[in-house]
Chain A
Amino acid sequence: MNRFGYTRAGSVAEAIQAFAAHPDARFIAGGTNLVDLMKYDVETPDHLVDITRLPLDQVEDGTDGALRVGALVGNADLAYDRRVQERFPLLASALLAGASPQLRNMATTGGNLLQRTRCHYFYDPATPCNKREPGTGCPAIQGVNRNHAILGTSERCIATHPSDLCVALAALEATVLVTGPNGDRRIPFAEFHRLPDDRPEIDTTLAPGELITAVEIPAADFGAHHTYLKLRDRHSYAFALVSVAAGLAMDGGRIVRARLALGGVAHKPWRDPAAEALLSGQPATDDSFRKAADHLLSGAVPRSGNGFKIALARRAIVRALRQAAAGTPQSQTDKRIQ
């Protein structure tokens, strides 16, 4: 690791100030991704601002059944929170599909949103990477790209966003609350992460020095009609090749409203309101599910090693919608996929 200074912030204002006082500072909380990237010299901050003592660690009820999750609430604490288990089981399921129990004990809600891609080239400073060093090129496009994106890529970057939590938050239409040198902002989840286009080094729409303070999740009315289906190379403790978060508002056998988000396939959790609209008013049948899947994947571009993801994603979407319609969400313990 490079050498860096350290400040333990006692308040949000102090954290913002300490960050601004250094040219290349980073906020640190759980550290599960940042410390790892620092060990690879991918991140080389001159200063760390420790935000773990800030009062942002509460889960609170908001208005109209919404939940306000402080940025420092741990992934495990959130997954096992009674309100999350009862009212937002899709969120709990996605959290428990990610990482390991140790990492979930360390990782925070805000930090999960700010995870960087696990692209091998991004992680290896011996190789070029437009995300790590803008303008140097993307070896993944012609190289090892089995884990890479099939949707929303650019000629500069085909990296994926690694989070499971974020896929659920996209489907739940959460809002990210941030504060910074220019005051407070609310960012709709769909606008929080960005596509790589010609600036793959920028993952989110956060301005420099802005700090996530909370995530607000509006009430979900899917009842038991939800699922988080994650497909990966191991049964546990691996990033998604493809994951699907689905929530359906049902009226008998008919779909009233659908939410559908994909993980492992793009630079951000992938949603397409038009694909969701195709399901509204339709019978909950494989035929309806396939039409939505085809629409979601209509712009998919295969690379040399990840073409399989298109067929895998199509089948995963159909399977997830079947699980959601039947009210039999995927277990994150019993790995059999029904």
Chain B
Amino acid sequence: MAPPIAPHTIDLTINGTAHRLDVAPWTTLLDLLREDLKLTGTKKGCDHGQCGACTVLVDGKRVNSCLTLAVMKDGATVTTVEGLARNGQLHPVQEAFIARDAFQCGYCTPGQLCSAVGLMAEGHAHSAEEIRELMSGNLCRCGAYANIVAAVQDALAAQSTQREAAE
């Protein structure tokens, strides 16, 4: 038997809170969030990077947490669906999902929301067509796509109105 492999100590800022954590090299960010930190908003769908249910933001970029080894993200800032609302105020994307009824069973929703927030920060989606293409990493088995596209469109429109007002 090979000697046991020692855990690695890493620092992560998750939804604004600093954590010092001991992780085994094979622990995915998804399992760390769900099992160790009880942040079960992030969902395990396929666990192979094919469905997008596990999407979170790492240093502001949307990634599949199921294919991310936590040990590699030492020092990173992570935002999960639990961290999207600020001071009791839902994120505009969350508001838009409710207004547009952009979900049915809700299982893909945390991933859709984090993905949409990432998409808005990237700034490459403008038309419905571009939203469809750039949200294609998030599958919805209920088929709520039409309303998801509408919700993301609303959130993008609100974002540009806000930007214009700030200028």
Find residues 90-107 in chain A having any chain B CB closer than 8 Å to their own CB: 99-103, 105-106
A102-B55, A102-B64, A102-B115 given as contacts; is B26 within 8 A of A3 (CB)?
yes
Are A333 and B130 in contact (CB-based, < 8 A)?
yes
Are B69 and A105 in contact (CB-based, < 8 A)?
no
Are A236 and B49 in contact (CB-based, < 8 A)?
no
Find residues 1-29 in chain B having any chain A CB closer than 8 Å to their own CB: 2, 5, 8, 24-26, 28
Answer whether residue B122 sits at the interface, using C-beta atoms and an 8 A cutoff: yes
Interface string of A1-32 (1 = CB under 8 A from B): 11111101000000000000000000010011
B contact residues, total (Cβ < 8 Å): 37
Answer whether residue A39 sits at the interface, using C-beta atoms and an 8 A cutoff: yes
Partner of B137, one of A6, A8, A101, A332: A101
Are A6 and B8 in contact (CB-based, < 8 A)?
yes
A323 CA to B103 CA, complexed, in Å? 39
CB-CB under 8 A from A48, the residues of chain B are 25, 69
Are B133 and A106 in contact (CB-based, < 8 A)?
no
Answer whether residue A233 sits at the interface, using C-beta atoms and an 8 A cutoff: no
Partner of A105, one of B5, B62, B127, B138: B62
Residue in B64, B124, B130 whose Cβ sees the most chain A Cβ within 10 Å: B64
Partner of A31, one of B68, B119, B130, B136: B68
Answer whether residue A54 sits at the interface, using C-beta atoms and an 8 A cutoff: no
Are A101 and B71 in contact (CB-based, < 8 A)?
no
Are A100 and B72 in contact (CB-based, < 8 A)?
no
Partner of B136, one of A39, A50, A100, A105: A100
Are A36 and B5 in contact (CB-based, < 8 A)?
no
A100 CA to B69 CA, complexed, in Å? 19
CB distance from B1 to the nearest CB of A (A): 11
Are B25 and A36 in contact (CB-based, < 8 A)?
no
Are A31 and B69 in contact (CB-based, < 8 A)?
yes
Partner of B25, one of A5, A100, A105, A236: A5
A contact residues, total (Cβ < 8 Å): 32
A35-B28, A36-B49 given as contacts; is B124 within 8 A of A3 (CB)?
no
Residue in A28, A31, A36, A100 whose Cβ sees the most chain B Cβ within 10 Å: A100
Are A32 and B49 in contact (CB-based, < 8 A)?
yes
CB distance from A213 to the nearest CB of B (A): 19
Are A5 and B5 in contact (CB-based, < 8 A)?
yes
Interface string of A21-65 (1 = CB under 8 A from B): 000000010011001101100000000101010000000000000
A102-B115, A333-B129 given as contacts; is B137 within 8 A of A32 (CB)?
no
Are B67 and A32 in contact (CB-based, < 8 A)?
yes
A28 CA to B137 CA, complexed, in Å? 22
Interface string of B96-124 (1 = CB under 8 A from A): 00000000000000000001001100101
A223 CA to B38 CA, complexed, in Å? 53
CB-CB under 8 A from B48, the residues of chain A are 36, 39
Answer whether residue A308 sits at the interface, using C-beta atoms and an 8 A cutoff: no
Using CB atoms and an 8 Å cutoff, list the residues of chain B in contact with chain A. Answer: 2, 5, 8, 24-26, 28, 47-49, 52, 55, 61-64, 67-69, 71-72, 74, 115, 118-119, 122, 124, 127, 129-130, 132-138
Nearest 4 interchain pairs by C-beta: A100-B137, A6-B25, A236-B136, A237-B136
Supply 14 further A-B pairs (C-beta < 8 A) apart from A6-B25, A8-B74, A235-B136: A5-B5, A5-B25, A6-B8, A31-B67, A32-B49, A32-B67, A35-B67, A50-B71, A50-B72, A76-B122, A100-B136, A103-B137, A105-B118, A333-B127
5 A-B pairs whose Cβ atoms sit less than 8 Å apart in the complex: A2-B26, A4-B26, A102-B115, A103-B64, A236-B132
